Structure 1
Amino acid sequence: MLSLSDFVNIDTKHIWLQVETAEQEKVWQLSQHHSNAIAIYNAYLNRICLSRILTWFQLSLQEARLRAEVFPSEENLPSILEIVNGTAIKVGETKIVLVPTETIDIEELCVPQEWVDINSWAADYYIPVQVNLDDDDDCWIRVCGFATHRQLKNQGKYNSSDRTYSLPIEQLTESFTLLFATLGLRWREEVLSEVTLSAAEAQNLLQTLSDASIYSPRVHLDIPFAQWAALISNEQWRQQLYNQRLTKEKNTAPTAKKYFSPSIESMNSVSIDSSFIPMNLNQWFQKLFTAGWQPIDEVLNSQLGNLAFEFRSFSATSKTGINGVKLIDLGVQLGGQSLALMLALSQEEDKKTAIIVQVHPTGNNKYLPPNLKIMLLESGNILQQIESRSLDSYIQLNRFKGLSGTRFSIQLTLDDFKMTENFSI
């Protein structure tokens, strides 16, 4: 296995920085104050990236007597990392956004829309940072070049399903001498001003998005981005969202929360249980959807990709059919890909509820990641299990039925990611 020194000798174009174990453990402790495991791990990766890059910038700018600092401030980091990937630093009037990824073969810079289209967040430069924390004794980050805001807006590809701008890695500038030489120049395109939210509108959004089981409120696609941007660009409202998500998580499942111990092994895994209180699927027949679930018909096909025909035809054959979808963000540790977990329900003549479960890729992704497993569990026992292959456009459990009062769980696993959704009929 290649060490950091090997990589440095092989690839002399990029910046390679060591990550010490002591720094990982310190950052891990700082990252615990979030509402769910994905947000915790997102904060951990981003803080590792920010810590190392900030130190590197300080050393690089010493002769120029310039200072790099966290933007907007260290105090604002928790409320930002709860909801979005990426951090920012500021050198004078120049802003630089750092976007960490654990993708092994980086093919593109992928920047959340918030860092591009919110006036007060938009930066001059964007830097993808590859983070490798798999080897306890040889962890590192690689700085892969940079792009400007102007490049992202004019040449980048916008993906509406996960609200990101992407740019092929080949279009990035690799020489950071050029970045340091052009500090102070403006490399931003004009961005539309944020819409104005009333206090009542803001409180309605806060009530919806403060549910901690909505792991990624930024891709709650029935809320227009303009409203979302107006909400989180307001420091007071963003802090309120952060506080409410933490408070609701603690109040709804006080014994369910399982923060990881600060061991290196635990830092590289993510495990999520939606709630110890199962969702009552009977409420769906009254059009009541909660905890991040939405009726499929209310989500645009362009956001979900190629929905399987049988999902619509299944409920169409019954007057009592209903279906729902939940968008799942796999997090930066799995390349930021998102999935759609879909359930179709139908009330049968034998008073049982029939259920079909599928998982689809979203947006421009045609295929699921390979080795994604979906399992049907009852009392901890595996009743069904399906695993995706390299070119599966979706996977599906066999149709099953249950009487009123039946409880079951659907579990998704991929590498170190695990998510469990609990239901009752």
Structure 2
Amino acid sequence: MLLENMTMALHAIRSNKMRSFLTMLGIIIGIASVIAIVSVGDSMRSLYADAYKNVGVNRAIVMVSWRVDDFRMSDYFTLDELDRAKEVFHDKISYMDSDAYASTEAVYGRNKVKYEFQGIDYNYTKVQPTNIIYGRELSEADVRGRRNNVVLEDKGAEQLFGTANCVGKTFRMTINKTTEEYTVVGVYRKDLSPLEAMMMGNGQTQSGFMPYTILTRPSDYFQDLNFYVKDGVDMKTFLPEIARYVAKIKGRPVTDIMTQSVVEQMGSVDSVLGGMSAAVGGIAAISLLVGGIGIMNIMMVSVTERTREIGIRKALGARTGDIMMQFLTESALMSACGGVIGILLGVGIVMIGGSAMGMVPVVKVSVIIVAVGFSALVGIFFGLYPASKAAKADPIDALRYE
């Protein structure tokens, strides 16, 4: 019986191709929009997750909150306190530095390039591997001896020196109001994710590394401790532990100590992106209701046009349920066909857009299944009234209809 109803439904759809297509158009646009928007949202969430992984998901910072009313000089950390914290938590922390950085201008001859240098310790590459293409990484002697040695990214090196292979060359910079000569000991290449490339764009600020001990001069005070926990250490339980330690050495209540991990930042960003994707996807889903109303409208017309057919079928013994199932099948099939076309269109848009932007699109099978099922339900729901009207038609009146 179902096969017969589907055959009759396909015949009815083919008999009015243009009208059927226009009826399905609302469903097609709705499904395509929902899939495209949800997939773009999922793709962005995936890219952000990858970007945070590059930063280090086991990374966190701890400091005395700047929101306290009586912030004092002793609330800053010293190099001795940093070294002491390394000793205390050596079994749980794989790396720690001052989280110091400097935005400055590098000068070589007539060339001037804006730079942002991150202050690191000699073992930074153990937690954040760096692709050194020329020269070497910063050494322990560079950090402990506060040598003016730097490692530059290849793009910035080319802008400053005209070549990426600039190991041994020197240039001038002003850091903490002191102008000095700095020597390039290494050049690295950073492989950016599509999201990072989009966010950075064609900005003129380049990046590099230098010993963190240089950036803390001349006072050797800094605001927070930047660290990476070892694999297997539970960040959620460790953060309160190091917060209590900092509170103790600073003579502060634990509530004055602020901690923040990359995992927490990831969760916040993912929550925002997920909410935005769901909200915009919900707005796009409204077009499905419009498409459903279109199906109801065209099915009402179809019932009116086929009144005599309904009367003949009833006269030949068709039951009310048979007539109702016939029109429900036609409505659901029309909606499902629109859903399939909408899925192909939505996935196509996402794939083309992802390819154009250099992104790997994320299209979840669950979204496609829900989209197809929802489109069929829309067809059934909005086809109930026309089908019910057809099923309740009096066969005598239907046979008299012209």
Normalising by structure 1, we get a TM-score of 0.21
Bigger relative contact order, structure 1 or 2, given CA contacts below 8 A and separation 6+?
2
Largest Rg, 1 or 2: 2
Structure (1 or 2) with the greater helix fraction: 2
Structure (1 or 2) with the greater strand fraction: 1
